[in-house]
């Protein structure tokens, strides 16, 4: 048996929608799974030489997790990974690996779980739904957890939305970025985010970048995280100065996502801002991935 699983990058939060909003982006990890004598993963592209190559690989661990849930033994497999999503970037690389592993396990065990159940398992592994839900479903997804179950809905959005992501060469683990957040927030700041989260959804639905620019602000996580990332606050200002309508930290960072009608120097301006803070940066100009994770059977050998 041999099949390929494609999973898109995702940008979570989108400013005020902390742990709730996520957008799938047209940048994909492609993993070909084939039965093997032992668990192994080989990576080309992003993360090559850095990701575990045996049973500790996140794809293998996720597949094992699914097998435990199904109460079935998992046959060993080889994962040939062609990765385009940068690691620890705020672009959903761990979600992509988790979903790849869960879908691989599910396929190898002849589909004991539905896509919705796979999403629940993915949230359980990731700890929050806002990357895994859009990675599974594509497009803009609003999600939450209720008694251990994910509630997620895809919102149809304008097909004209394009983003520029600036990714600094700076390591900020999500765990550290979450640990920097306060345990309590003020009612005023909660209200700031609740109203704007709804308006961000409306702005994306209509492709209304002016509205997006007014409401893509946050008081719950970005102020605390921007302090940890050299150049990120400056990159956000620089993108706006270069004509971007709206900017936010992508996920927990360290990358910044900018929404604009054209590239017109937005990426370059963010790169220069990071460089001025002593950090190199890479630029990605991406459309929205309208569909989520998919299984492609290239060859059936048994």
| CA nearest neighbour of 88 among 301, 252, 283, 285 | 252
Residues in Cβ contact with 207 at an 8 Å cutoff, skipping those fewer than 6 apart:
157, 158, 160, 161
Q: How far is the CB of 295 from ligand HSE (least distance, A)?
A: 24
Whole-angstrom CA distances from 76 to 62, 207, 228 are 13, 46, 41
Residue 14 binds to ligand HSE (criterion: CB under 6 A)? no
x/- track of binding to ligand HSE for residues 202-221 (CB under 6 A): -------------------x
- Closest by Cα among 76, 123, 67 to 98: 123
128 binds ligand HSE (CB under 6 A): yes
Residue 201 interacting with ligand HSE (CB under 6 A): no
Tell me the per-residue interface mask from 43 to 82 with ligand HSE, x by CB under 6 A, - otherwise.
----------------------------------------
Q: What is d(CA 279, CA 228) in angstroms, rounded to the nearest whole number?
A: 13
- Check residue 252 for interaction with ligand HSE (CB under 6 A): yes
Nearer to ligand HSE, 84 or 178 (CB): 178
Which of 162, 93, 171 has its CA nearest to residue 132?
A: 93
How many angstroms separate the CA atoms of 154 and 255, rounded? Answer: 24
Among the listed ranges 107-115, 127-135, 197-205, 286-294, the one in contact with ligand HSE (CB under 6 A) is: 127-135
Tokens 């602000």 -> residue = 217
- Nearest distance, CB of residue 61 and ligand HSE, angstroms: 18
The SS3 assignment for 119 reads helix
Provide φ and ψ at 32, rounded to 5°. -100, 125
Asked whether position 178 contacts ligand HSE by CB under 6 A, the answer is yes
> Which residue, chain included where needed, has tokens 């936010």?
248
Stretch that binds ligand HSE, among 39-47, 102-110, 128-136, 151-159 (CB under 6 A): 128-136
Out of 60, 104, 107, 130, name the contact with ligand HSE by CB under 6 A. Answer: 130
* Stretch of 125-133, 137-145, 197-205, 230-238 lying at the interface with ligand HSE (CB under 6 A): 125-133
Examine residue 174 and tell whether it contacts ligand HSE (CB under 6 A): yes
Determine if the peptide bond prior to 19 is cis (ω within 30°).
Answer: no
Work out whether 11 is an interface residue with ligand HSE (CB under 6 A).
no
Instruction: From 78-86, 126-134, 265-273, 289-297, give the range in contact with ligand HSE by CB under 6 A.
Output: 126-134
- Minimal distance, residue 130 CB to ligand HSE, in Å: 5
- Sign for the CA dihedral angle at 114, 153, 125, 8 comes to positive
Contact 80, 39 (CB under 8 A): no
Bond before 254 cis per omega within 30 degrees: yes
Residue 26 in the binding site for ligand HSE (CB under 6 A): no
Among positions 85-124, residues that touch ligand HSE (CB under 6 A) are 90
**Could you tell me the two tokens for 206?**
């209509």
Residue numbers at the binding site for ligand HSE (CB under 6 A): 12-13, 18-19, 90, 128, 130-131, 174, 177-178, 221, 251-252
């Amino acid at each position: 048996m041999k099949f390929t699983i494609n999973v898109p990058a995702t940008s979570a939060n989108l400013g005020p929608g902390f742990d709730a909003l996520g957008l799938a982006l047209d940048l994909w990890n492609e993993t070909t799974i084939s039965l093997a004598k032992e668990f192994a993963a080989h990576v080309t592209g992003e993360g090559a030489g850095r990701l575990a190559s045996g049973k500790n690989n996140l794809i293998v661990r996720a597949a094992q997790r699914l097998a435990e849930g199904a109460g079935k033994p998992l046959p060993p497999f080889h994962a040939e990974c062609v990765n385009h999503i940068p690691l620890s970037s705020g672009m959903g690389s761990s979600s992509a690996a988790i979903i790849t592993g869960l879908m691989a396990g599910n396929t190898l065990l002849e589909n004991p779980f539905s896509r919705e159940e796979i999403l629940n398992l993915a949230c359980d592994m990731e700890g929050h739904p806002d990357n895994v839900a859009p990675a599974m479903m594509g497009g803009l997804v609003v999600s939450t957890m209720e008694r251990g179950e994910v509630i997620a809905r895809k919102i149809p959005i304008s097909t004209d939305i394009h983003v520029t992501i600036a990714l600094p060469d700076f390591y900020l683990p999500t765990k550290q970025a979450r640990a920097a957040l306060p345990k309590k927030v003020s009612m005023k700041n909660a209200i700031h985010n609740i109203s704007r989260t709804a308006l961000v959804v409306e702005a994306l639905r209509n492709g209304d970048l002016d509205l997006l620019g007014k409401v893509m602000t946050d008081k719950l996580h970005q102020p605390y995280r921007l302090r940890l990332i050299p150049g990120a606050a400056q990159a956000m200002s620089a993108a706006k100065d270069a004509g971007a309508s709206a900017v936010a930290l992508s996920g927990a960072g360290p990358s910044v996502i900018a929404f604009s009608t054209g590239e017109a120097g937005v990426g370059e301006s963010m790169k220069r801002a990071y460089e001025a803070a002593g950090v190199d940066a890479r630029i990605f100009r991406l459309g929205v991935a309208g569909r989520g994770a998919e299984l492609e059977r290239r060859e059936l050998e048994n």
